[in-house]
Structure 1
């Protein structure tokens, strides 16, 4: 697990000793008791998956007072449907930790209902390390504050969940026909959502909309 071939490099050694943060990440206390932590690893990198699973096995041996489980998927767009379903099925005292690419986490954040956000922690694969996993298992009654980086904010926060999803797919280059097929709506409805978004964020044309999306999401969401 400590071998850099798993993709974690030297991140394992950088742990803060104040009990509140790791590598600059802050943990915000949440009062309800967590009795189980469910990790979902979404990646097509077998070395990375094996490394995380080895870490979780060691943590399970160290922390016998809390149940740990893990599942995996290949990191494809189809994984979003699987993970979304898992989030809805988790019991109230279960914390779900999703480790995936930034692109997949962005998709999940747009489709996740507000009531599930207290029980879900997002970690991008390029930021995952043993110190973060240990912090979560050691203090399961916390939520990882940095997960907010994947939650829509700013001007786009006023949009409905459906509008946010349409925005993300437009940013990724999907055509209205493709978006309609993904969301199960017709092309006219997709266009209506786009017009509604433009009115809400003050864009008078499509060029302005795409510029806003690029500012919000950045030049790329891969990673």
Structure 2
């Protein structure tokens, strides 16, 4: 077990990050989190907000890397933003993050997490079950980049010295991990993700 890996009994703080362009949703969730913070003085509960565009990816990924290993991090955003974020987060950090799709976010769910963060961490897969829990391998990340740059699976296979079927297998694996239902969704996610990185 690595030093950074946390167990269900090690969580001291809960940190929420909400990313959305819906001002009504942001206002409502801010009020809800402020109320939760006042009700739970025994646990350190904090939150930040950002816009729901691809530009937020780097900010959220940095927040996740910088937080103490005993902090449960809850990211609430659109499924598309969470798909992109899953490309950015290494496995080491992923083990203390819960992703919640904004459209599925309810006050009762936030209250449940605040009341019992240890339980929430154990059940993290239930909040965003379509993917994002499994980190991409280095090879999968390289294949994603080549796909974004417009390389065909045959060209990628030649570059990496692997069979075209292996490239396709990796692509399918990536799609499952980040929750994309088809190739169009994958390419759209890659364009947003690498486009945001390129914009700085």
Q: Which residue does 1:85 correspond to in 2?
A: 62
Contact 1:99–1:125 (8 Å) recurs in 2: yes
Q: Which residue does 1:145 correspond to in 2?
A: 125
1:86-140 CA deviation, whole Å, 9 max, x = no partner? 1110001111110111111111112211111221010011111101101111111
C-alpha deviation, 1:58, in angstroms: 1.2
- From 41, 63, 66, the counterpart of 2:18: 41
Cα 1:189/1:72, change in 2 over 3 Å: farther
Contact 2:17–2:73 (8 Å) recurs in 1: yes
TM-score (norm 1): 0.63
Root-mean-square deviation (CA, aligned residues, Å) is 3.4
Q: Following the alignment from structure 1 to structure 2, what is the Cα–Cα distance between the partners of residues 80 and 32?
A: 29
Of structures 1 and 2, the larger Rg is shown by 1
Q: Following the alignment from structure 1 to structure 2, what is the Cα–Cα distance between the partners of residues 57 and 48?
A: 14
Q: Following the alignment from structure 1 to structure 2, what is the Cα–Cα distance between the partners of residues 131 and 169?
A: 42
Cα 1:125/1:199, change in 2 over 3 Å: same
Cα 1:213/1:124, change in 2 over 3 Å: closer
Q: Which residue does 1:218 correspond to in 2?
A: 181
Q: Which runs of 5+ in 2 are unaligned?
A: 1-6, 189-200
Aligned residue pairs, count: 169
SS in 1 for 2:130: helix
C-alpha deviation, 1:168, in angstroms: 8.4
Q: Following the alignment from structure 1 to structure 2, what is the Cα–Cα distance between the partners of residues 124 and 165?
A: 27
